[in-house]
Structure 1
Amino acid sequence: QSQSSPYPFGGGGGSSQAQGSGFIYDTKGDIVTNEHVVDGATSIRVTFWDGSSYTGKVVGTDTSTDLAVVHVDAPSSKLHPLTLASSSGVHVGDGVVAIGSPFGLEGTVTSGIVSALHRQIDAPDNFPIANAIQTDAAINHGNSGGVLLNLNGDVIGVTAQIESDSGGNDGVGFAIPSDSVRQVADGLIANGKVSHAYLGVSIQTSNGGVSVGSVRSGSPASRAGLRSSDVITSLDGTSVKTANALEALISAKKPGDHVTLTIRRSGATRSVAVTLGTRPS
């Protein structure tokens, strides 16, 4: 049965509290939520669907994807992991359900559709999160870290952000895709942290490719000889026509991976070999 685990977070010294949502990831007691939900928490309390609550311990966090794993020592009867579907199989127009605790209203279920795919949203560290899923299912404060399910009840994303002029639900919500969730959660559980590939340039979409704005000193791009005003047209033979597309390809790589960029410079086309680095914290 699909279930979300909403939980309040106690602030230090009773000075403040924050609240978010999460879901059971495995039978060991690992729960996935958003990094911004647990950021700065000095104590964590996880409340299950039946009202029982347990002390939570942060296993690891990743600001670059706004994901975190919290562990609870709860009996196996409480731990019913959700199944993650591959977000690569999601299509625009698919029906979805969001479960979370908006405004502290635990176990709230809303429905909608997938409005768009391959959106880019900003992580807490201001790096881009690629391939976010846009939905019109109602998402509000307190939904953060909750699940976006397909109509089979499988997780396709973790709800993270809304776009709103009013501060409330305007029908434009975003979820971190399940393929990213699986990769990051497994890494956090195994190692307590994850690393992300890093090129070290500012980019923007331009005619026929992706224009390089600035090149960070000492970065992999700098060492490979990339220059400001270069236009990147492909990575490892895959054409890139937008900045989002290039960032998604880089995000799918690992630090230390070797890639070949095809660029245009001063009217000439050339190939540049780059060894990707580790994204700075």
Structure 2
Amino acid sequence: MPTRRDVLAGGGTVAAGAFAGCVQVGSSRGQQSEGGQSGGQDDPAGGTTTVYQETLPSVVGVLVYGRSGPASQGSGFVGPDGSVLTNEHVVANASDVKLRFDDNEWRDATVSGTDPYSDLAVLEPNGTPSEATPLSFVDTDPEPPVGTPVLAIGSPYGFTGSASEGIVSGIDRLLPAPNDFQIADAVQTDAALNPGNSGGPLVTFEGDVVGVVSSAGGENVGFAISAALAKRVVPALAEDGSYDHPFMGTSLLEVTPAVAETYGLENVGGVVVADVLPDGPAQGVLRPAGDTTVTNGVSVPTGGDVVRGMGGTEVETMADLSNVLALDTSPGDTIPVTVIRDGAETTVDLTLGARPDP
């Protein structure tokens, strides 16, 4: 089956945004739009209007029914394997799901798999219109840099076929996930995001998906689950219904100036092992903090290992560590972890477990 990338010509990047959270069906004001919010009459080949028109047929509105009737709605899109991708929080606890394609074509769908830890879900539609060809994920080696124009297409407030334009305004962001975990490698955008955009695609001018729109953090600050993470999670959701995330079994604290001063570190960088889960993967391998002290008015755990490298990758921030775990490892892998312990650098081998269910 040809993908949207096969259809689109030219290069560059796109425009746009998305929003976290779905919108309650009762509050939806929207009707199907005629052309969204993008472009102009003299849009050049490969420009915003071209990308919008070529991508729109593959974008869906997701209407979710609970036990008591219509519950919420969001967005989604046809992924590389022909299934429909959206956010986990859009379809959580759904008893019935309807998909609204372009030109008001409706299809029933079943939930093939969900993953709260990445906020991704895979839906299996009861057929798709011929125009709804799969969208491809962007090449993530390297990932699109900050400044890349992007376009988000979805159904904010139920207004189907809406588009918002912006840029990739940040990468390697961490988003909250259940049980105090975090979603690694998130893409930040300044595109306008509103309820109902959740689950829609954030695409480049080549029509490739940079991320799956997930959340908004404030004015001109929105986030999408990265293509790199989706490439790992989505195939497992489609095949097995779930995805096993690697697990260290630790509580961690990013090194700040106060932490660096407490530990006598020359540079502000790394992650402190604040605690280790009993009988977890890190027990007996990584040393947790045993006490606390106050430095510059800040309470700092003391005595724990300071992680400075993992799997051969330097760890300067919590995002560095989270990205290595999420994108480069799997449960059962044994990886070298470089730590500063008692003022000296040493390397230990850590065998990762599987993250417990939320």
Query: Is the TM value for this pair above 0.5?
Result: yes
What residue is the counterpart of 2:283 in the other structure?
222
Shift of the 21–178 alpha-carbon distance from structure 1 to 2, 3 Å rule, reads same
Shift of the 43–237 alpha-carbon distance from structure 1 to 2, 3 Å rule, reads same
1:263 maps to amino acid: V
Shift of the 271–74 alpha-carbon distance from structure 1 to 2, 3 Å rule, reads same
1:204 positional shift = 1.6
Higher relative contact order (Cα pairs below 8 Å, separated by 6+ residues):
2
C-alpha distance in structure 2 between counterparts of 1:27 and 1:79, whole Å? 12
Where in structure 1 do 4 or more consecutive aligned residues deviate above 4 Å?
A: none
- Consecutive unaligned residues of structure 1, counting only runs of 5 or more, are 165-169
After superposition, the C-alpha distances for 1:167-195 in whole angstroms (9 at most, x for unaligned) are xxx11000111121122111111211111
What residue is the counterpart of 1:185 in the other structure?
234
C-alpha distance in structure 2 between counterparts of 1:274 and 1:6, whole Å? 43
Q: Report the secondary structure of 1:221's partner residue.
A: coil
- The alignment's TM-score, normalised by the length of structure 2, stands at 0.73
Q: Report the secondary structure of 1:140's partner residue.
A: coil
Counterparts of 1:251-266 in structure 2 under 5 Å? 251-252=326-327, 253-266=329-342
C-alpha distance in structure 2 between counterparts of 1:277 and 1:17, whole Å? 36
What residue is the counterpart of 1:232 in the other structure?
307
- The alignment's TM-score, normalised by the length of structure 1, stands at 0.93
Say if 2:80 and 2:136, in contact at 8 Å, map to a contact too: no
Say if 2:311 and 2:324, in contact at 8 Å, map to a contact too: no
1:26 positional shift = 4.3
C-alpha distance in structure 1 between counterparts of 2:120 and 2:245, whole Å? 13
Shift of the 177–58 alpha-carbon distance from structure 1 to 2, 3 Å rule, reads same
- Consecutive unaligned residues of structure 2, counting only runs of 5 or more, are 1-53, 256-267, 290-303
After superposition, the C-alpha distances for 1:98-124 in whole angstroms (9 at most, x for unaligned) are 011101111100101111111111124
Say if 2:108 and 2:125, in contact at 8 Å, map to a contact too: yes
1:280 aligns with 2:356: yes
Q: What is the RMSD of the two structures over their aligned residues, measured on CA atoms?
A: 1.5
What residue is the counterpart of 1:123 in the other structure?
177
Indicate which of 73, 76, 85 corresponds to 1:32: 85
1:65 aligns with 2:118: yes
Indicate which of 199, 218, 223 corresponds to 2:248: 199
